[in-house]
A = this chain, B = another copy of it.
Amino acid sequence: MAAKRASQPRKSVWLTPRPARGRRAAESGSGAGNLDREKIVATAVRLLDAEGDAQFSMRLLAAELNVTPMSVYWYVANKDDLMELALDAVAGEIDLPDLTAGRPWQSDLRALAAAWRRTMVAHPWAIRSYGEYLNIGPQSMRFSACAQTVVARSPLPEQERPAALSAVFQYVYGFTSMESRWLEYGRESGRTADEFLEEVAGSVAEAPGIEAGGGMMERHSGVSIGELRDRDFDRALDWLLAGMCAGLTA
């Protein structure tokens, strides 16, 4: 996607909200065959999950909905808008931690990071879209608001908090991008992710330096790649949080 050149560049759905049409049919509670934006977005998410974003198209979506391709355009202005809507929909699936449970802010932040990662890995196309769009839909904002509440409870001085949030979530974004790409490679190649990793590592072993795939291909001694990944994920968060707190006492 990524907005072909146009005289007027595209603006996010959230910045120029299109009327969510098709409400009449939805509200009148008529037959299941009717379209509305919600149904379109839900179907898009399902197809994106099943087919991947490379395979997904407006035409495929329309076929799945048993309508002509152009019918969809009554409800969404274009494919980019639809992708933003789909992305916000999956952002709504992220489990937010219960902030009233009285856990330490670090635990809540970790829970948030883990929940984000889980959701993105469940929808591999979503992490790519996340890098493409503005992510300011209601569900994304719900997540951001929660994250901000969490750091607001930390002892970090107020002017440090945005940087702390960026650091954590930019890391999580980077980690998750790599992770879901490796999982996709595994799926595409028909082998397991572990086997694919072995193969690449093998083809590359003669070179002086490795680290391909963000250094995920070393030290498997009994423990599975998945566990190693989880461990690395937690470890980096340990380091970041330790670094932030170390700054406080200095």
Does A167 belong to the interface (CB within 8 Å)?
A: yes
Question: CA A146 – CA B209 in complex, angstroms?
Answer: 7
The interface residues of chain B lying within 8 Å CB-to-CB of A162 are 211, 215-216, 218-219, 232
User: A238 — which chain B residues lie within 8 A by C-beta?
Assistant: 243, 247
Interface of A is mostly: helix
Chain A interface residue number, banded: 35 or more
Q: How far is the CA of A41 from the CA of B188 in the complex (A)?
A: 26
Q: Which residues of B contact A172 (CB under 8 A)?
A: 174
Please give, as numbers and ranges, the residues of chain B lying within 8 Å of A128 by CB-CB distance: 131
- Partner-B contacts on A (CB < 8 A): 1-5, 9-10, 14-15, 52-55, 128, 131-132, 134-136, 138, 140-149, 159, 162-167, 169-175, 177-178, 181, 185, 188-190, 199-200, 203-204, 207-216, 218-219, 231-232, 235-236, 238-244, 246-247
A77 to chain B, nearest CB (A): 17
Asked if B4 contacts A54 (CB within 8 A), the reply is yes
Min C-beta distance of A53 to chain B, whole Å: 7
Which residues from chain B contact A3 at a C-beta distance below 8 Å? 54, 188
A54-B5, A200-B134, A209-B145 known; A236+B167 contact, CB < 8 A:
yes
A108–chain B nearest beta-carbon distance, Å: 14
Task: Establish whether residues A167 and B239, one from each chain, have CB atoms under 8 Å apart when the complex forms.
Answer: yes
A247 touches B236 (CB 8 A): no
Residues of B close to A231: CB separation below 8 A: 163
Closest to A130 in B: B177
